[in-house]
Structure 1
Amino acid sequence: MNKKVEEIQNWYRNERELSNYSIMDIGDKLKNLAEKGLIWVLKDVDITESEEIVVDYYLHKYRAVQIYDNLQHLFPIPPSNDECASTPSKSSKKVTPLQNQQHTLEVRDVKQFNGYQKAKELEERIIELCKNFPSFEFDHIVNQIERSAESIKKRIQIGEQIYIREKFNQYSIAIGSAKETSAWLQVSLGQKYITKNQFEELDNMVNQVIGILTKNLSNIKEKEGKGLDLPSPYTPNVKNFGAYDNALMLVESIYKVTREKAFWKERYLMSKMRKQATSCVANIAEAHQLYIPKKFRFFNDSLKSLSGLESSLETSVSKGMISEQHLEKIDELKNSIRNVLTTKMSKISDEKAS
């Protein structure tokens, strides 16, 4: 990575840390970067949905002035508000936020971290296991479970930095990806692509990674994070969430019905329905992480998958491919999931408003 790009990305992460991730506070900084032709460097940074909207807006508005070459000759990146607040005397030494070690962490060798080692082993085991999956699942379950497993390791790597809030953010994503991985393992078990012993062994590894990350965040919050408004590092067990079990049963029902002879010539519709059903359960699992806005987003994505499945089911009924008996059971599960999610999202909205 270009050193200037990395410098700007680190500067922006620090500004987010200082502003407590408030989009109102960092909006001017994003505009400043856009006007200087550097907003594009944030496309590779993990940012919130609100930030992504603002970045895309400014990238489009200032696309003509973006600078991609010879960045090392550019002027220094803009100072933070804290640095601009006062002008130091010639004899005083200016201390930047990066030099201020309050509320920062010591960077370790991530490869020596047991959480990373477990995540790496989990990914390797899953890749090896997926070699035995049916070929028609390679662009679906195999792709998704390998992606989610890789995400755990990747986010732990990115989380090894000095910024406390960013570490919480990256570990939150890692925890969500771990829970999503567990969901794909359960789907695989349900379709008999893996044995119960294989599931239990890998699911236990997933839980170990979550436990290690949770313990680390708890220690950071208790020690280095004092005075910061950090979320609770403890996440609920998705397997105790009613909509999750029903979503798994929905997947079973969709796979069963799409194996019927009527779907043999409707491969595209069959594949779409399976993806919509499994996306519902995967999003429910991934929603069980630290930050309320992310929970809300993943629950909402699960509802979108349900709506898409509803449309596909209507098409199947119109073509006479699904019996009323099967449709009734699917509708019952679908409605139950939707009711639980909408109730949960309503409570989340109340929490955000309070």
Structure 2
Amino acid sequence: MNKKVEEIQNWYRNERELSNYSIMDVGETLNKLAEKGLIWILKDLKDITEFEGIVIDYYLNKYRVDQIYDNLEDLIQIPPFNDACAMTPSKSSKKIIPRQKQQPTLEVRDVKQFIGYKKAKEIEKRIIELCKNFPSFEVDHIVKQIERSAESIKKSIQIGEQIYVREKFNQYSIAIGSAKETSAWLKVSLGQKYITKTQFEELDNMIDQVVSILTKTLSNIKEKEGKVLDFPNPYTPNVRNFGAYNNALLLVEKIYEVTRKKEYWKEKNLVSEMRKQATSCVANIAEAHQLYIKKKFRFFYSECANYKNVKN
């Protein structure tokens, strides 16, 4: 790989970590790279999120004719043009631009041996088996959503097992949010008698264990690296004690009760949308209980929109 390409990729990873994966900040950084003709360099990165992939494709298409593929070594720096984030100067330049301060890194473990990963993998496996017995009309909603959120716990733990400290916090935050969302879908499934109380309690207990393991891991990192990096508190509140969560569960019960009435039998699309919006309220409230404030606001905003859709 061209050294300049690798340098730009590492610069982008660092910028992304410093922004705590803020959608707006990441989007702005990608836009600047596109305008400078460098967005193509990120196209084949293996650690980008789905959101980043969509934005990269968009800007690559928009600025395709502006992309620079040759003479990359002549580049001195890339945006944002501040002293802390400047790139290494080219050989032909005598100007010395300071590098960014080295960030603490972690030793990469074998994620398959991590107890948190093993439990997350087992949760996903059990949920897939349970969902085989769900009603066919729930396949396109609850089944897909709970399988997606369960898979996200495992995948986020996998991605989080790397040297970048901030990225580990970010991915574990996503895993914690996905775990709480999975628990919410299980609660909804229990309420509709798709699963038994015993099945719910066993899986919910495993989810609590995963959250506890991830939280303890981050707590140890924060204690070790907290003097260098400003990390959020890894201890998330118990969503079961949150009034809005419990009210949203009651809303789901009422929506399912109402939509089972005879007058709704011919309104399949309406019934599906009402149930979808109501259950999404529960899921978003649960997933919002993670580490970063911006993420909480995003999920709470989605929950408000879903609630309005239910009322309308």
TM-score range (shorter-chain normalised) is 0.7 to 0.9
Give the structure 1 partner of residue 94 of structure 2: none
1:197 positional shift: 0.3
Contact 1:164/1:225 (CA < 8 Å) preserved in 2? no
1:60 positional shift: 6.3
Give the structure 2 partner of residue 260 of structure 1: 261
Distance in 1 (alpha carbons) for counterparts of 2:19 and 2:129: 44
Q: Would you say 1:283 and 2:284 are equivalent positions?
A: yes
Give the structure 2 partner of residue 75 of structure 1: 72
Output aligned runs, 1:1-150, within 5 Å: 9-17=9-17, 27=28, 30-38=31-39, 41=43, 45-46=48-49, 58-59=59-60, 61-66=62-67, 75=72, 81-82=83-84, 84=86, 100=102, 102-150=103-151
Go from structure 1 to structure 2 and tell me whether the alpha carbon gap of 1:292 and 1:60 turns closer, same or farther (over 3 Å shift). Answer: farther
Distance in 2 (alpha carbons) for counterparts of 1:18 and 1:279: 30
Q: Would you say 1:233 and 2:234 are equivalent positions?
A: yes
1:89-111 deviation per Cα after TM superposition (whole angstroms, max 9, x unaligned): 9xxxx99769x4x5111111111
1:155 positional shift: 0.5
Go from structure 1 to structure 2 and tell me whether the alpha carbon gap of 1:60 and 1:87 turns closer, same or farther (over 3 Å shift). Answer: closer
Distance in 2 (alpha carbons) for counterparts of 1:4 and 1:198: 53
SS of match in other structure, 1:155:
helix
Distance in 1 (alpha carbons) for counterparts of 2:114 and 2:259: 44
1:178 positional shift: 0.3
Contact 1:15/1:26 (CA < 8 Å) preserved in 2? no
Distance in 1 (alpha carbons) for counterparts of 2:285 and 2:85: 43
Give the structure 1 partner of residue 220 of structure 2: 219
Give the structure 2 partner of residue 248 of structure 1: 249
Go from structure 1 to structure 2 and tell me whether the alpha carbon gap of 1:57 and 1:12 turns closer, same or farther (over 3 Å shift). Answer: same
SS of match in other structure, 1:280:
helix
Distance in 2 (alpha carbons) for counterparts of 1:66 and 1:289: 38
SS of match in other structure, 2:254:
helix
1:225 positional shift: 3.7
Distance in 2 (alpha carbons) for counterparts of 1:83 and 1:231: 23
Distance in 1 (alpha carbons) for counterparts of 2:28 and 2:158: 28
SS of match in other structure, 2:285:
helix
Go from structure 1 to structure 2 and tell me whether the alpha carbon gap of 1:5 and 1:207 turns closer, same or farther (over 3 Å shift). Answer: farther
| TM-score normalised by structure 2 residue count | 0.82
Contact 2:39/2:56 (CA < 8 Å) preserved in 1? no
1:32 positional shift: 3.3
| TM-score normalised by structure 1 residue count | 0.73
Contact 1:104/1:224 (CA < 8 Å) preserved in 2? no
Letter of the 1:237 counterpart: N
Letter of the 1:166 counterpart: E
Paired-residue identity, %: 68
Go from structure 1 to structure 2 and tell me whether the alpha carbon gap of 1:60 and 1:222 turns closer, same or farther (over 3 Å shift). Answer: same
Contact 1:214/1:233 (CA < 8 Å) preserved in 2? yes
Letter of the 1:153 counterpart: K
Go from structure 1 to structure 2 and tell me whether the alpha carbon gap of 1:24 and 1:239 turns closer, same or farther (over 3 Å shift). Answer: closer
SS of match in other structure, 1:107:
coil
Q: Would you say 1:173 and 2:170 are equivalent positions?
A: no
Contact 1:9/1:45 (CA < 8 Å) preserved in 2? no
1:10 positional shift: 4.0
Give the structure 1 partner of residue 202 of structure 2: 201
1:269-290 deviation per Cα after TM superposition (whole angstroms, max 9, x unaligned): 0000000100111100000000
Contact 1:14/1:97 (CA < 8 Å) preserved in 2? no
Contact 2:34/2:63 (CA < 8 Å) preserved in 1? no
Task: Give the number of aligned pairs.
Answer: 298
1:65 positional shift: 3.5
1:29 positional shift: 7.2
Distance in 2 (alpha carbons) for counterparts of 1:204 and 1:9: 40
Give the structure 2 partner of residue 330 of structure 1: none
List gaps (5 residues or longer) in structure 2: 92-96
Distance in 2 (alpha carbons) for counterparts of 1:130 and 1:288: 25
Go from structure 1 to structure 2 and tell me whether the alpha carbon gap of 1:133 and 1:180 turns closer, same or farther (over 3 Å shift). Answer: same
Q: Aligned-residue CA RMSD in angstroms?
A: 3.6
1:297 positional shift: 0.8
1:125-151 deviation per Cα after TM superposition (whole angstroms, max 9, x unaligned): 100111111111111100000000000
1:31-73 deviation per Cα after TM superposition (whole angstroms, max 9, x unaligned): 135422425637972399xx89986885565244458xxx8x7
Contact 1:36/1:65 (CA < 8 Å) preserved in 2? yes
Distance in 1 (alpha carbons) for counterparts of 2:238 and 2:225: 27
Letter of the 1:75 counterpart: L
Distance in 1 (alpha carbons) for counterparts of 2:27 and 2:136: 47
